[in-house]
Amino acid sequence: MQQSVETRSTIDDAVAHEQRVYESSNPTSGRKFEAAKEVLPGGNTRGSLFFGPFPLFFSSARSSKVIDADGHEYSDFGNDLTAALFGHSNEAILSALKAGLDNRMSYGGTHDHEVAYAREICHRFRSIERVRFLTSGTEANLAAIQLPKAETERRLVLGFFGGYHGNTLNWLEPESEMNVDRADVRLARFNHIETVEQIVRKEGKDIAAILVEPIMGSAGGFMADTTFLSRLRSICDETGALLIFDEVQTARFAVGGYQSVIGVYPDLTTLGKFFGGGLNFGALCGPARHMDRLGPGHERMLSHGGTFSNNVLTMIAGHAALKKVFVQENVDRLNARSNELRSALQRQANSRGVPLQLGSFGSLISTHFQADLPQGSEDVKIPLIFRKLFQLFLINNGIFITRRGQLTVSMANTEDEFSALENAFGIFLGQYGDLTDDFD
């Protein structure tokens, strides 16, 4: 671990320096990565966790700490790209799981846990009367766009440049051949309602659904104007399309989802990540009038299975997480503490004259080292290499974040960790803040 205060002359020098420190501190992760390439494509299973020169290999995680293969302990502000909202191995969730493990690895049948868990979700979300459990956010969004197509007998889905709804609905890379239904997707600019209206004017009668993250997560924490989301709501009401909120990330902001914060309600909601209490999870949710089409007994039933969709351990972990940990008091405390962190970081940047815009909301803090707050991916000016510098610097100083540059705060992060992060952030600004001049 290092804390040099020397000023580097160019971004390339700075990155080269941090990378040398990183490589020499993490020989075991480096070796393991080389070995992983023999059996995993590019040594990797989950693209969003990869970062060069090689990712850290973790050996354990507890509460707010992750430990890597070289024995370094990090304060975790990556928090599994938002899935570890409760930190790692939360005691309340773990003890429910341990009790469940005794005789319930799998039933291969219907059980009470799925009903209890669904009931709790319905109770919390005003727009939800039925829940279809699935195994990932990707799967939830795939189902979410098929249901309106069947309901409306239309073929198009309207989404947004920079939207990320899973590995086959990745509109950060709209041209990717991994994406499904490319010919039937229309993309507008986030927060630019006129681009939506343009598409609707031309093809409105063919649009089955509008799919949107109410705060764009993976792209950089862009907040939607509430008026923008309200207008999407009214466009759907006018045209008969269904509005889908992808709340896989944003549901963390309130027990009734971010929709309850802004007071704009979708037809369908997708959930994922932390809702599984740390296990694989996805869910498509909505009112009975749409969702019941997925159920046996419906005269035009959309047949839809999934071996692990009602996995008993996921249902137990998710239900325990909601009942015991994801309660409004804890959510409020997390958002308030994260907002203090947000203000402290901003003050540091302002006092040093380093441009910084902090995106997203509450416990998700996206860092944009530029003068204007981006409204969508097209407004981001800072190049990826600066994110690399920021990430490697923090890792070299005992704080783990992902390459995305987002500080993801969990309920387990401690006051000491907030102080350490603020301190490291100040050193980073002092050492490298001037480099942002090159990008404005």
Ligand X SMILES: Cc1ncc(COP(=O)(O)O)c(C=O)c1O
> Rule CB under 6 A: is residue 218 a binding residue for ligand X?
yes
Q: Which one of the spans 226-234, 245-253, 306-314, 315-323 is the region binding ligand X (CB under 6 A)?
A: 245-253
Q: Who contacts 75 (Cβ-Cβ below 8 Å, separation ≥6)?
A: 64, 65, 398, 399, 400, 413, 414, 417, 420, 421
Site string for ligand X, 114-143 (x = CB under 6 A): ----------------------xxx--x--
Judged by CB under 6 A, the residue of 214, 217, 257, 286 near ligand X is: 217
Give the integer Cα–Cα distance in Å for 106 and 91. 22
Minimal distance, residue 408 CB to ligand X, in Å: 11
Sheet (strand 364-368) strand order: 357-359, 364-368, 406-408
b (16+ CB within 10 A) / e for 365-400: bbbbbbeeebbbbebbebeeebbbbbbbbbbbbbbb
Q: Which is nearer to ligand X, 160 or 425 (CB)?
A: 160
> Rule CB under 6 A: is residue 211 a binding residue for ligand X?
no
> Rule CB under 6 A: is residue 80 a binding residue for ligand X?
no
> What angle separates helix 415-432 from helix 384-396, to the nearest 10 degrees?
130
Q: How is residue 320 annotated by DSSP?
A: H
Q: Which is nearer to ligand X, 17 or 387 (CB)?
A: 387
With CB under 6 A as the rule, give the number of residues binding ligand X: 16
> Rule CB under 6 A: is residue 376 a binding residue for ligand X?
no
Q: Which one of the spans 100-108, 162-170, 367-375, 414-422 is the region binding ligand X (CB under 6 A)?
A: 162-170
> Rule CB under 6 A: is residue 277 a binding residue for ligand X?
no
> Rule CB under 6 A: is residue 166 a binding residue for ligand X?
yes
Selection from 251, 232, 254 nearest residue 243 by Cα: 232
Minimal distance, residue 166 CB to ligand X, in Å: 4
> Rule CB under 6 A: is residue 249 a binding residue for ligand X?
yes
> Rule CB under 6 A: is residue 239 a binding residue for ligand X?
no
> Rule CB under 6 A: is residue 248 a binding residue for ligand X?
yes
> Rule CB under 6 A: is residue 165 a binding residue for ligand X?
yes
Q: How is residue 88 annotated by DSSP?
A: B
Q: Is 137 helix (H, G, I), strand (E, B) or coil?
A: helix
Q: Which is nearer to ligand X, 18 or 246 (CB)?
A: 246
Q: What are phi and psi of 33, to 5 degrees?
A: -65, -45
> Rule CB under 6 A: is residue 171 a binding residue for ligand X?
no
Minimal distance, residue 308 CB to ligand X, in Å: 13
Selection from 125, 162, 101, 159 nearest residue 283 by Cα: 125
> Rule CB under 6 A: is residue 318 a binding residue for ligand X?
no
Q: Which is nearer to ligand X, 271 or 399 (CB)?
A: 271
Minimal distance, residue 171 CB to ligand X, in Å: 11
Tokens of 292: 């019941």
Q: Who contacts 65 (Cβ-Cβ below 8 Å, separation ≥6)?
A: 73, 74, 75, 76, 88
State whether the Cα torsion 147-150-154-156 is positive or negative. positive
> Rule CB under 6 A: is residue 213 a binding residue for ligand X?
yes
Q: Which is nearer to ligand X, 76 or 213 (CB)?
A: 213
Helix-then-strand count for the chain, H and E: 13, 16
Minimal distance, residue 74 CB to ligand X, in Å: 21
Please give the residue ranges that form the binding site for ligand X (CB under 6 A).
81, 136-138, 141, 164-166, 213, 217-218, 246, 248-249, 272, 282
